[in-house]
């Protein structure tokens, strides 16, 4: 059974859920209509906080979190199949990735709940999810570059460069958010633009994994003895 589809689903499902929630909320008059990637008129959280989008967001993001945790487990299996050592870094990548998925689920569960505690849990959940996901992505790139020469050559050069470009852009956006959050007068809109762009780029990283798993023929096999 080819497994590349799972990496593609990790990239596409949350993206589709967020876009659908945004469209539903705009049509219901709950948030302004715009191109949030350019104008930052609303946040991702606001798009999935009210009305029907509240249920769509939770119904889509919680399965996405489970798939994300499974994705990182399979990344380890993929690296080992290509000849990587089962090092502490590889195991840490999996653990960090699973934590990232768990906190994505936490964020989805608490989104839309009222009260200071729930607001804190929502913000804590999304912060840990994004930070740990980025760290796991960096570790995966590191392990790809350390693959044996023949295995390394099987991973398309465009995939390796694409992953590096995505991680570089994510780190740049993270650094940019510091002065934006502290010095810009209309910081909310700018932060929203960064948020939408950051989340989309992060999902793009998983799409590059889909291409890598396709190119290397990563698959699961079942049998009985």
- 109: exposed, middle or buried (Cβ count in 10 Å: 0-12, 13-18, 19+): middle
In this prediction, residue 181 carries a pLDDT of 73
Q: Is the pLDDT of residue 209 over 90?
A: yes
Dist CA 155 CA 202 (whole Å):
20
**Residues, the chain:** 225
Residue 118: per-residue pLDDT: 60
Q: What is the reported pLDDT for 13?
A: 96
Residue pair 24/223 in contact by the 8 Å Cβ criterion: no
The band of 200, judged by pLDDT with boundaries at 50, 70 and 90, is very high
pLDDT at 137: 96
Q: What percentage of the chain has pLDDT greater than the value 70?
A: 99
Share of the chain above pLDDT 90, in %: 65
* pLDDT mean across residues, the chain: 90
220, pLDDT greater than 90:
no
Instruction: Determine the average pLDDT of the residues in 109-137.
Output: 82
CA-based nearest residue to 208, from 161, 170, 139: 161
Using the predicted structure, report yes or no on whether residue 165 has a pLDDT greater than 90: yes
Contact 48, 104 (CB under 8 A): no
Average pLDDT over residues 46-56: 90
Closest CA to 31 of 176, 174, 196: 196
When pLDDT is cut at 50, 70 and 90, the band that residue 206 belongs to is: very high
Report whether pLDDT(102) > 70: yes
pLDDT of 117 above 70:
no
Q: Provide the pLDDT for residue 187.
A: 82
pLDDT value of residue 225: 78
For residue 1, what pLDDT is reported?
79
Residue-level pLDDT at 120: 73
């Amino acid at each position: 059974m080819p497994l590349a589809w799972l990496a593609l689903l990790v990239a596409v499902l949350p993206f589709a859920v967020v876009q659908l929630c945004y469209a539903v909320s705009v049509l219901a008059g709950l948030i302004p209509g715009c191109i949030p990637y350019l104008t930052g008129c609303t946040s991702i959280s606001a798009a999935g906080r009210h009305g029907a989008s509240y249920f769509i967001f939770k119904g889509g993001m919680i399965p996405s979190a489970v798939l994300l945790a499974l994705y990182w487990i399979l990344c380890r299996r993929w690296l080992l199949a290509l000849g990587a050592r089962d090092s502490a870094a590889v195991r840490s990548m999996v653990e960090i990735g699973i934590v990232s998925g768990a906190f994505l689920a936490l964020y989805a569960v608490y989104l839309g709940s009222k009260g200071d505690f729930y607001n804190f849990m929502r913000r804590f959940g999304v912060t840990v999810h994004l930070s740990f996901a980025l760290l796991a992505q960096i570790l995966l790139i590191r392990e790809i570059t350390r693959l044996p020469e023949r295995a390394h050559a099987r991973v398309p050069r465009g995939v390796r460069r694409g992953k590096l470009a995505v991680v570089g852009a994510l780190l740049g956006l993270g650094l940019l958010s510091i002065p934006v959050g502290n010095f810009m007068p209309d910081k909310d809109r700018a932060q929203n633009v960064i948020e939408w762009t950051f989340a989309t780029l992060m999902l793009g990283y998983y799409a590059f994994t889909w291409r890598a798993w396709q190119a290397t023929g990563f698959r699961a096999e079942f049998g009985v003895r």
